[in-house]
Amino acid sequence: SLDMALSSILREAEIAAGLQSCQAADSFDYKTVFVKVGLNSKSKDQVAKVFGILDQDRSGSIEELRLLLKSFSASARALTKAEAKALLAAGNRDGDGEIGVDGKTALTKR
């Protein structure tokens, strides 16, 4: 399951803290959330693994990004379109409209 795979890399308490930090609409700040869920302390491989788990159909599309928080926890909210667009813009390093491996690494480094 998704949770099992994620919990092999991230700690539940950290995921909860990350989700807690962005409960209000338009309060999602990927840097804050990724730091809180513990992604910043992970290796490039672990980061790639987490994004692989989150990006199930490998599209990295806006609609899918809106469900990013839900992939950490089913009870989390969907991102607003603006939040998803900001995340995509931050992670889309080569302008192809998707978040590639370099973008994922960039998203998780301060």
Burial category of 69 from C-beta neighbours within 10 Å (exposed 0-12, middle 13-18, buried 19 and up): buried
Q: For residue 102, say whether it is annotated as part of any ligand binding site.
A: no
Q: For residue 3, say whether it is annotated as part of any ligand binding site.
A: no
Q: For residue 64, say whether it is annotated as part of any ligand binding site.
A: yes
Kindly list the distances between the CA atom of residue 61 and the CA atoms of 4, 20, 40, 110, in Å, as whole numbers in the listed order.
Answer: 24, 24, 23, 23
Burial category of 28 from C-beta neighbours within 10 Å (exposed 0-12, middle 13-18, buried 19 and up): buried
Q: For residue 94, say whether it is annotated as part of any ligand binding site.
A: yes
Q: For residue 26, say whether it is annotated as part of any ligand binding site.
A: no
Instruction: Please enumerate, by residue number, every residue annotated as part of a binding site.
Output: 55, 57, 59, 64, 94, 96
> Binding-site residues for Ca(2+), please?
55, 57, 59, 64, 94, 96
